[in-house]
Amino acid sequence: MRIYCAGALFNLAEKRFNRELADELGTRLGDAEFVLPQERASQFLHRDDWSERMFEDCLTMIDASDAVLAILDGPDADSGTSLELGYAYARGIPVVGVRTDFRGGEDRGLNLMLSNVCRTLLLEPVDALTTLADRIAPALEALRPLRG
């Protein structure tokens, strides 16, 4: 099972969270492969057309995935993540949305378009990454037969 990890990836804290969550989920899901755009980006950064190449690579990797795991934290979900969710939804790729942020908002803390794109939406204001992974893994495991 290949899982595309969508989420903010612009600072050390975000990148560490994404990598550590993927590692924790990997121990629970066994043969799952996690695609982290933050790790794929380095191959494009020194090219003149880096933004176009990264954009195309993200869409290609979503198409090649069985599911999208979307981190939807913050006062408003990351705009790139929002696009990735819409793209996955339009392509029939199931989305598991995760929000650890306790701040409220429009629809369960999210824009209603984002919350309704998610096949599963986990609202998990937890303090431990291991607990979060324990709650996400079954939702991803349930998607295994849907794409495959």
Read off the pLDDT of residues 91-141 as tens digits, 9 standing for 90 and up: 999 999 999 987 766 666 688 888 899 999 998 888 899 999 999 999 999
The pLDDT score that the predictor gives to residue 40 is 83
The pLDDT score that the predictor gives to residue 106 is 62
The pLDDT score that the predictor gives to residue 118 is 94
Q: Report residue 147 as tokens.
A: 């794409």
**pLDDT over 80 at 146, yes or no:** no
Question: Is the pTM for the entire model greater than 0.85?
Answer: yes
Average pLDDT value for residue range 6-23: 94
Read off the pLDDT of residues 23-81 as tens digits, 9 standing for 90 and up: 999 999 999 999 999 888 777 778 788 889 889 999 999 999 999 999 999 888 899 99
The pLDDT score that the predictor gives to residue 41 is 77
**pLDDT over 70 at 148, yes or no:** no
Domain with 77 in it: 2-147
CATH number at residue 52: 3.40.50.450
Q: What's the structural domain count of the chain?
A: 1
